[in-house]
Amino acid sequence: MKLICGIQTEQNATINVANFISTMDKITLQMQSSGHGDAETGSGRQKSYGFAQCYGDLSPTDCTLCYVEARNILPRCYPSNGGRAYLEGCFIRAENYSFYDEFTGPGDGPECGNRTRAGPEFEESVRKGLSQVVSVASGNVRYGRAEVAVGRAVNESVYVMADCWRTISATACRACLENASASLLGCLPRADGRALNTGCFVQYSDTDFMNSLPVAVSCWRMRVSNDLSIVEGLIVFGQWITSLVEVAGCNVDAACPNQRHHDQEDRKVVPDQAVVAVEASLVAGRSWRVIVNVIVAVSGAALFIGGVIIGVYVWKRRIIARKRRDDAEKLVKNLNHSSLNFKYSTLERATASFDEANKLGQGGFGTVYKGVLADGREIAVKRLFFNNKHRVTDFYNEVNMVSSVEHKNLVRLLGCSCSGPERLLVYEFCSNKSLDSFIFDLDKGKELDWEKRLKIIVGTAEGLVYLHENTSTRIIHRDIKASNILLDSRMRAKIADFGLARSFEKDQSHISTAIAGTLGYMAPEYLAYGQLTEKADVYSFGVLVLEIVSGRRNNEGESSDDTESLLSRAWKQFKQGRIEPLVDPNLMLGCRKEEADVMKEMVRVVQIGLVCTQEIPSSRQSMSKALLMLEAKEDPPLPSNPPFMDKETMEFHYTSGGSNEASIATISHSVFLPRAQAIKLICGAHPQHESDVFVPNFFSSMENVSRQLRTSGFGLAETGRGVDASYCFAQCHRDIPLTECAICYAEALDLNFT
């Protein structure tokens, strides 16, 4: 809405800017927990003071986003040593002195709208609304809102809201609000106006600009308002309950006299506007006894209802937990009396007490050891990392699921041990270990010619077809990658590691689940929405196919300076009609006729890999279709751009339909929080720029990047010329929502000055 900058300039930009960033960072945590915050950093003339506050109708999430926007706008004042910014939902200020007690200052005044709303009834309603919110907001609540009817019209109202900053006293708050209200009266007969003062904010309009106060916001305001007394807290809670009762059709005239028809008092207060209703009654001199009795009664009823709801919730959780425990116990008994059960001591002897010399590898869920049983059979024993009750239950369920499938291209589960100090899984032993040890090794890769690689690709496809289509319960593997494709003595592919596998019935279109897997192999719709179908495995298979052909990892460039992904490189080479630069050097062939036929076959396989990695799930073929293409029984369709290819459109366009979208996004969000944590900071070795020129360029570039991030999760910008030009780039991981992306970017911006 407005940015007001100071008149003095920075004396030491390097120190002051760093202090400013640190101060803003300290305020971030306070904003997330309470909706307002203040902090200081540094000492002497270079000390930075900061304050920010969200308006009272903002939810915690909107508050965090508004603050992220505000802290990116305030640096526009540079090289001024201070400034304040008013946004649609929040306020921010930074100075080089303590300003917390100030409630008037230069720049105070109204911002009047352009529309005119003539008539004495409208002007009188504005005056009444301003009077109401000033009375309410000048108390400890520091926030007021009202809706006042215009004359006797049914559908015409004036909406008014007022906020005082938490750092000023109640006396200063009232003085600021009265000054702001008086200045706003000068806007009449304009239809709307805002007073942007040093210590407060007041706004009126003939259109409803205020957010509703749902349960989350009301409870958040009660929890975080440290200045509220217990009685005021009960008032706010009671108002919210009262509004619910009225919405349900109950008569609450005794509790909220201001809710009566406007014919009686020529005004009304919206039912869900909890902060004004009872406070306005108190200011008008209503009886404390009636109000308190109503609040106690309504609050008591609410607590009782809340207790019942919590009790039912806990009871249901216990029922579910008991059922899971009973099912697990039944499964344990069945396993203990079946051929799947191995004694812990037997496996301990087979692996020489899990000797490091027998270690075959380590994955995300455990370490695998080679073992030899007493009868000479070679086995692979997976020693699982987890050892808690919840995961143990999942362990038994996974054993039950995986033991029911059997196919020549799936690693066979021989059994498990559930009686010892830890849980162990026993698989058939594959003597040639995993595929990645061959295709990503320049020397060992020579052992896999094209014929063997094609058989591995086809075998993997056959295993996935069996999992997806030929079992009574479909299984999605979720972690198809080179290290999970084992090779037996005949170099036959066997899909391994079902730790992330999920089953779902034939009539299910998808399942919503927490995101898990390996980046680079995960399908974009799964990363974006947590929506899992068998097409997620198809995508992973497509990436694996390209890795087998190229001998390169999906996230590995041709050189240390090359950041282009394998998927992008494969698409470009395919479009150009020449895949030779993509093919593993160990497979490069001459020009003999039979070898030319092999090259055509490679082109076909690359095309199938690209078809399997299409951005839209419906554009990907099923695994059974992919298998027919690999066997040359069907022609593959022409692929289009893989996801995230073009810089101009570096956004995932697939949208998830149906009512599950919100819950899917919630699951994704909860799994990856907190993501805005520093992992590593690498500073350049170039000499320092001229601060007075470079720093403004830097902030301008970062602001441009910020706008791009909020819409696409990706941005780049440049500002200035010559040695003091600023070039900036930022990108969020594609598995986080744009809301988290904006917050993470603000945290990353701080790291440039820490």
CATH number for the domain including 586? Answer: 1.10.510.10
What pLDDT, on the 0 to 100 scale, is given for residue 254? 38
Report the percentage of the chain scoring pLDDT > 70: 69
CA dist list (Å): 456 to 253, 464, 599, 631: 77, 12, 17, 13
CA dist list (Å): 447 to 439, 444, 599: 9, 6, 19
Which of 177, 180, 202, 204 has its CA nearest to residue 192? Answer: 204
- Checking if the pLDDT of 381 tops 80, the result is yes
- Checking if the pLDDT of 536 tops 80, the result is yes
What pLDDT, on the 0 to 100 scale, is given for residue 248? 39
Confidence of residue 754 (pLDDT cuts 50, 70, 90): very low
Q: Are strands 424-428 and 378-384 parallel, antiparallel or unpaired?
A: antiparallel
Q: CA–CA separation, 162 vs 196, rounded Å?
A: 11
Task: Name residue 533's amino acid.
Answer: T
Query: Are residues 422 and 368 part of one domain?
Result: yes
CB atoms within 10 A of CB 748: 16
- Checking if the pLDDT of 238 tops 70, the result is no
Answer yes or no: are the C-beta atoms of 117 and 157 closer than 8 Å: no
- Is 382 annotated as ligand-binding? yes
Q: Over the chain, what is the mean pLDDT?
A: 75
Length of the chain counted residue by residue: 754
- Checking if the pLDDT of 263 tops 50, the result is no
What pLDDT, on the 0 to 100 scale, is given for residue 660? 35
Confidence of residue 339 (pLDDT cuts 50, 70, 90): low
Does an H or E element contain 648, and which? none
- Comparing 688 with 556, which gets the higher pLDDT? 556
Which of 244, 225, 183, 208 has its CA nearest to residue 35? Answer: 225
Q: CA–CA separation, 328 vs 335, rounded Å?
A: 10
pLDDT tens per residue across span 633-651: 999 999 888 775 543 333 4
Residue 590 has which token pair? 């001459």
Query: Are residues 367 and 442 part of one domain?
Result: no
- Checking if the pLDDT of 503 tops 70, the result is no
Is the sign of the CA dihedral 527, 731, 32, 90 positive or negative? Answer: negative
- Checking if the pLDDT of 610 tops 90, the result is yes
Residue 657 lies in a domain: no
Q: Give the CATH number for residue 745.
A: 3.30.430
Q: Give the CATH number for residue 408.
A: 3.30.200.20
The average pLDDT across 369-373 equals: 93
Q: CA–CA separation, 68 vs 25, rounded Å?
A: 10
pLDDT tens per residue across span 434-486: 999 999 988 898 999 999 999 999 999 999 999 888 756 778 888 899 989 99
Phi, psi of 317, deg, nearest 5: -60, -40
CA atoms within 13 A on the CB side of 706: 22
- Checking if the pLDDT of 192 tops 70, the result is yes
Residue 315 lies in a domain: no
What pLDDT, on the 0 to 100 scale, is given for residue 735? 75
- Give the three-class secondary structure for 271: coil
pLDDT tens per residue across span 652-710: 444 433 333 322 222 222 233 334 455 677 776 655 555 556 766 777 777 778 777 77
- Comparing 539 with 520, which gets the higher pLDDT? 539
What pLDDT, on the 0 to 100 scale, is given for residue 49? 93
Answer yes or no: are the C-beta atoms of 206 and 192 closer than 8 Å: yes
Residue 609 lies in a domain: yes
What pLDDT, on the 0 to 100 scale, is given for residue 625? 94
- What is the residue range of 474's domain? 438-630
The average pLDDT across 92-120 equals: 87
What pLDDT, on the 0 to 100 scale, is given for residue 164? 92
Query: Are residues 351 and 256 part of one domain?
Result: no
What pLDDT, on the 0 to 100 scale, is given for residue 696? 66
What pLDDT, on the 0 to 100 scale, is given for residue 563? 58
How far from chain centre, in Å, is Cα 500? 21
CA atoms within 13 A on the CB side of 108: 20
Phi-psi sector, 296: left (phi>0), alpha (psi -120 to 50), beta: alpha
The average pLDDT across 586-607 equals: 77
Residue 115 lies in a domain: no
The average pLDDT across 221-225 equals: 43
- Give the three-class secondary structure for 72: helix
Phi, psi of 403, deg, nearest 5: -70, -15
Among 390, 408, 428, which residue terminates a domain? 428
Q: Are strands 200-205 and 157-164 parallel, antiparallel or unpaired?
A: antiparallel
Query: Are residues 677 and 613 part of one domain?
Result: no
Residue 695 lies in a domain: yes
DSSP 3-38: EEE-SSB-S-HHHHHHHHHHHHHHHHHHHHHHSEEE
- Comparing 204 with 265, which gets the higher pLDDT? 204
What pLDDT, on the 0 to 100 scale, is given for residue 491? 94
Residue 718 lies in a domain: yes
Is the sign of the CA dihedral 85, 186, 150, 134 positive or negative? Answer: positive
Query: Are residues 254 and 363 part of one domain?
Result: no
Residue 66 lies in a domain: no
Min mean pLDDT across 254-263, 684-693, 716-725 is at: 254-263
The average pLDDT across 481-494 equals: 92
What pLDDT, on the 0 to 100 scale, is given for residue 282? 39
Q: Which residues are catalytic?
A: 479
CA atoms within 13 A on the CB side of 478: 24
Confidence of residue 549 (pLDDT cuts 50, 70, 90): very high
Answer yes or no: are the C-beta atoms of 158 and 190 closer than 8 Å: no
Q: CA–CA separation, 688 vs 677, rounded Å?
A: 27
Answer yes or no: are the C-beta atoms of 625 and 634 closer than 8 Å: yes
Confidence of residue 537 (pLDDT cuts 50, 70, 90): very high
- pTM tops 0.75: no
What pLDDT, on the 0 to 100 scale, is given for residue 522? 83
Counting the structural domains of the chain, the total is: 4
Contacts of 194 (CB under 8 A, 6+ apart): 1, 86, 110, 111, 184, 201, 202, 203
Min mean pLDDT across 6-10, 42-46, 412-416 is at: 6-10
Query: Are residues 454 and 553 part of one domain?
Result: yes
Among 258, 287, 307, which residue terminates a domain? 307
The average pLDDT across 215-227 equals: 43
Query: Are residues 546 and 692 part of one domain?
Result: no
Query: Are residues 445 and 419 part of one domain?
Result: no
pLDDT tens per residue across span 117-129: 768 888 899 999 9
Does an H or E element contain 92, and which? strand 90-95
What pLDDT, on the 0 to 100 scale, is given for residue 8? 77
Query: Are residues 452 and 424 part of one domain?
Result: no
DSSP 197-230: -SSEEEEEESS--PPP--HHHHHHHHHH-TT--H
Phi, psi of 189, deg, nearest 5: -90, 25
Answer yes or no: are the C-beta atoms of 609 and 540 closer than 8 Å: no
Residue 463 lies in a domain: yes
How far from chain centre, in Å, is Cα 454? 39
Q: Count Cβ atoms within 10 A of the Cβ of residue 312 and give its class: 0-12 exposed, 13-18 middle, 19 or more buried.
A: exposed
Which of 232, 44, 75 has its CA nearest to residue 143? Answer: 232
Query: Are residues 621 and 587 part of one domain?
Result: yes
Query: Are residues 517 and 378 part of one domain?
Result: no
Which of 152, 150, 163 has its CA nearest to residue 210? Answer: 163
Query: Are residues 421 and 454 part of one domain?
Result: no
Among 406, 428, 450, which residue terminates a domain? 428
